[in-house]
Amino acid sequence: MRSHIDRGLARVERETEALLAVLRLLVFSAITAVFWAGGALEHAHMAMFSVIALGVFATVSLVLAWIGFFRPWLPWMFATLDVGLLLHCIGPLAMAFGTPASGISAAPVASLIFLLLAVAAVRHRPYLVLYTAGLFVAGWALLWITVGAQAPDAAFVLPGEITRLSVVALTAVVLFVAVGRTRRALADAIREARLRSNLSRFFSAGIADQLARSEPGPSSFRPQRAAVMFIDVRGFTPMAERMAAGELALFLTEYRRRMAAPVARRGGVIDKFIGDGIMAVFGVPHPTEADAGNAVQCGLEIHEATDRWNEERAAAGLAPIEVGIGIHYGEVTAGTLGDEERLEFTVIGDTVNVANRIEELAGELGVRLLVSEPALQAARPVVDSALWDPVPDQSLRGRRQPLRLLRQKPPAEPHRAQPDATVVAS
C-alpha cells in the first residue's frame, strides 16, 4: 500500500509541474520588472547573469513539465538554484534602490522568497519548504558576514534584518505544518481511492462505495428484498483429489471467472467464494423489481457459459464439468461486518439459508437449475413460468415449512411434418 501512496503522490507532483513552471516564470518576471524599474543600469553587469539564469531555469522547467519529465531530485535542484540566484540578485538591486549594504533582507527583491516558499508548498513537500527557507537564511548569513557586517551602520540595521528573517522563518514553519497536514490528507485520499479501486474488482460500484463509507456493526444492517443464488460444481471433491495444486488453482480461477461474468452482467454481486461454491446476490445495496428476473436469467446464462466451457475442455481432452444452481427470493438483511483491518459486505437471513438448501437439493435430484416459486413469481414477466415444471414435493434440510420448487422444462422435440402435409400460407 505504501508504494501505491508514493506513486500517487509522485503523480500529483508531476501534475503540478506546469503550475510551478508558471510560478517560476512569474518570479523571473517580477525580478526583471523590479530590476528595470529601479533604474539599475549601472549595476546591470552584476545582476544580469542571475536574471538571465532565472529566465532560463523558468523556461527549462516549463519545457520539462510540458514533456512530462519528472524526477524526485528535480524539486530540490530547482529550489537550490532559485534561492541562489535570488540571493545573487539582492546585492545589485539593493544598491540600485539605495539600500545600505547591511540591509540585505530589506531589498525589494528579497520579498520574493515568500513566492519561492509558496512554490515549495505547492509541491506538497513540507521539508522542501524548510529547506528553501533555511537556504535563504544561510545565504543571508553569508552575505552579512562578507558584506553587511562591514558597513558602519551594521549594528543599527541588524535588529531589522533579524526581524525580517524571523518572519521568513515563521512563515516557513506555518507552511511546513500546513503542507504536512495536506500531504497526509492527500495520502489518505490516495489510500481510500486505492481501496475503492480494489473493492470495485470484487463488488459493484454501489457496494464498493458503501464498504468505503460505512461503519461495520449491527447499525449498518438493514432489511430488504433480494434474490440469492448458490452455485456449486458437482463432484468437485473427487475431481480436486486428482488434480495437482497448480492445476487446481488454474481450474478454480477459470471457473470463478466464467461464473462471475454472467453475475456481473445481470447486475448481481458475488457475496463470497467458498472453494467451488459461489454465493451471488441480486438487489444489493439497492433493490429493484428486476432482481429476481436477473437472477433466473443469470442462472440460465451460467449454464450456457458452462456448456461453452465444456466444448473447450472436450477439445483439450478434459472431462466436462457439471454446475448446479439454486435460487430463492425473499427478505434478507444486508450490511457490513468486520473491523479496521477487513470489511465484508454480506447478506444474512432465512432467504440465504433456503437458497443454499435449494442448491443442495438440486444436486441430490440431479437438476442443473432449481428455482423457488417466490423467485419465479417475482421474475415475471421476464421469465415465462409456463416453461418451468414443479419438482415432486421435497423437504429442505432444516426447514419445516413446505416450499414449491421448479425446474426448467426440457426443450420440446421438434415437430416433423408428414410428407403429404399441405402448408397453407396465412
DSSP secondary structure letters along 277-308: EEEEEES-SS--TTHHHHHHHHHHHHHHHHHH
Pair 331, 350: CB distance under 8 Å: yes
Name which of 179, 154, 165, 174 is nearest 111 in CA terms.
165
H-run or E-run covering 223: strand 222-233
**Residue 318: what are its φ and ψ, rounded to 5°?**
-105, 155
DSSP 8-state assignment for residue 112: G
Give the Cα separation of 302 and 34 in Å (integer).
75
Determine the longest span between alpha carbons in the chain, in angstroms. Answer: 129
Name which of 288, 278, 275, 276 is nearest 227 in CA terms.
288
Residues sharing a CB contact under 8 Å with residue 144, sequence separation 6 or more, in sequence order:
102, 104, 161
**384 is written with which cell numbers?**
415465462
Crossing angle of helices 154-200 and 126-146, in 10° steps, is 160
Phi-psi domain of 80 (left: phi exceeds 0; alpha: psi -120 through 50; beta: other): alpha
Q: What is the pLDDT along the chain (426 residues), one digit of tens a residue?
A: 445 555 655 666 666 777 777 777 776 777 677 666 655 544 545 556 666 777 787 788 778 777 777 777 888 888 888 888 777 777 655 555 555 555 566 666 677 788 788 878 877 788 999 999 999 888 888 877 776 555 555 565 677 778 888 888 999 999 999 988 888 887 777 666 666 565 555 555 556 666 555 555 555 678 999 999 999 999 998 998 899 998 999 999 999 999 999 998 998 988 888 888 999 999 988 899 999 999 999 999 999 999 999 999 999 999 999 999 999 999 999 887 766 556 677 888 999 999 999 999 999 888 999 999 999 999 988 888 788 888 887 777 777 777 889 998 876 555 454 444 333 333
Its pTM stands at: 0.55
